[in-house]
Amino acid sequence: MEHTKKLSIKFINKSGNIIRVALVLERRGYNIKSLNIYPLNDDSGYSEMFLELRGEDAKFDQIKKQLAKLIDIIEVKDAIRAEDVVPVVAYARV
């Protein structure tokens, strides 16, 4: 079974770390449908990436552990809020 999954990954935003995440996903047959990255609004200096993924459901929990194992990943969690994946942007005519 394949369903869309949403992940939130807090990480140290050094060059190369997006590739590390992408390599784990590619190797396990997951496709990235969308990817957004934002710096966190705190003093941590970390960034957060939000991913919409498609791949086999059965592999998902183990893939999260493999992602968490990457040295520069701080936290991996399911992104359950809609705004985690599609940021709310307000447009206003001025």
Partner 1 sequence: MSLTTKNGAAILVSCLEQLGVEYVFGYSGGAALPIFDALYDSSIKLILTRHEQGATHMADGYARTTGKAGVVLVTSGPGATNVITGALTAMMDSVPMIILCGQVPTGLLGMDAFQEADVFGLSMPAVKHNYLVKKTNDVPRVIYEAFHIANSGRPGPVLIDLPKDVTSGKYDGDFNGTLEIPGYHVPHQPTTDAVKSLATLLNKARKPVLLVGHGALISKAHKEVLALAEKLNAPVVTTLLAKGAFPETHPLSLGMVGMYGTAYANKAMINCDLVMSIGSRWDDRINGNPKKFCPNAKKLHIDIDPAEIGKIVTPDAYAIGDAKIVLQQLLPLLAPENTSAWVKEVEDFKANHPLTYYKEGGLKAQQVIHAAYTASKGNAIVTTDVGQHQMWAAQFYLNSRPDTWLSSGGAGTMGFGFPAAIGAQIARPNEMVIAVVGDGGFQMTLSELSTAAIHKLPIKILVVDNKYLGMVRQWQELFLDNRYSGVDMVGNPDFVKLAEAYGIKAFHIDKAENVDSVMQQAFAYNEGPCLIHAEVIKEDNVYPMVPAGACLEEMVICAPTEKMAMPEGST
The contact set with partner 1 (CB under 8 A) reads: 11-12, 15-16, 19-20, 23, 27, 61-62, 65-66, 68-74
- Residue nearer to partner 1 on the CB measure, 71 or 80: 71
* Burial environment of residue 10 by CB neighbours within 10 A (0 to 12, 13 to 18, 19 or more): middle
- Residue nearer to partner 1 on the CB measure, 11 or 30: 11
Token pair for residue 41?
């609004």
- Residue nearer to partner 1 on the CB measure, 5 or 17: 17
Alpha-carbon distance of 76 to 65, in angstroms, equals: 8
